[in-house]
Amino acid sequence: MSKREQRVSWTATTRYDLEPAPGGLALVQDLLNTLSAGRPRQPDLLESVEDAGAWLDQALKSWSGATRRPAPGIDLTAEDVQGLRDLRQDLNRLVQPPTSESSPEGGPATSLMTLPTALRLDEHGRIQAEPRGTGWRQVASLALIEAYQAQCTDTLRRLKTCRNPRCATSFYDRSRNSSGVWHDVRACGNAANLRNYRARKRAGTEQA
């Protein structure tokens, strides 16, 4: 992690003692980590208009610091907060690890079907994608731009949801071969392995 990224405060992600994803992808991760999780249970940062507005203001500042681009000003209404919750749920499906219970035929993410985006040339002759819309749709447009750019550099696949269903926090897998499935092996991996071992032992006892 660069010194500049260390100075950026992604409040939703760092409260779970997680390292943010690189660059603007950290915005997607931070949105996912607004959910209520952890021990003790952290509050849902999208619970109210005030909570969501406070999170978004800081997240946009952090995004600006990570990307060196000006942050858009986005106001939220109660309807926008529900839109952000739906967006969070849809994005979570994109980073959910595959399991035997996953449905490969799940329907499309409804909140992400159509989002306005603009392309422009900046002063350095580079093509920049800019979000459009208002409220939660502008947040969604910005998040999808960052996810798409990460997809183009093959880093989006490293943004994952912890396989422990009791955790469900989103982490950026920095392992060499992108094989991580737990946000923390000691906190979630060992606990899950112990539960599986006990379940197998009970099943063996019942069959004996």
* Residue 120: φ, ψ to 5°: -145, 160
- What's the pLDDT tens digit per position in 149-197? 999 999 999 999 998 878 889 999 999 888 888 877 776 865 555 455 4
CB burial of 11-37 (b: ≥16 within 10 Å; e: otherwise) equals ebbebbebbbbbbbbbbbbbbbbbbeb
- What's the pLDDT tens digit per position in 87-103? 999 999 888 866 544 44
Which domains does the chain possess?
Answer: 3-96+111-207 (1.10.3300)
Q: Return the structure tokens found at 112.
A: 């992400």
What pLDDT, on a 0 to 100 scale, did the predictor assign at position 166? 80
| Mean pLDDT value of segment 127-135 | 92
- What's the pLDDT tens digit per position in 38-95? 878 899 999 999 999 999 999 999 999 999 999 999 999 999 999 999 999 999 988 8
What whole-number distance in Å separates Cα of residue 35 and Cα of residue 122? 35
Specify which of 17-21, 107-111, 173-177, 199-203 reaches the highest per-range mean pLDDT.
17-21
State pTM to two decimals.
0.83
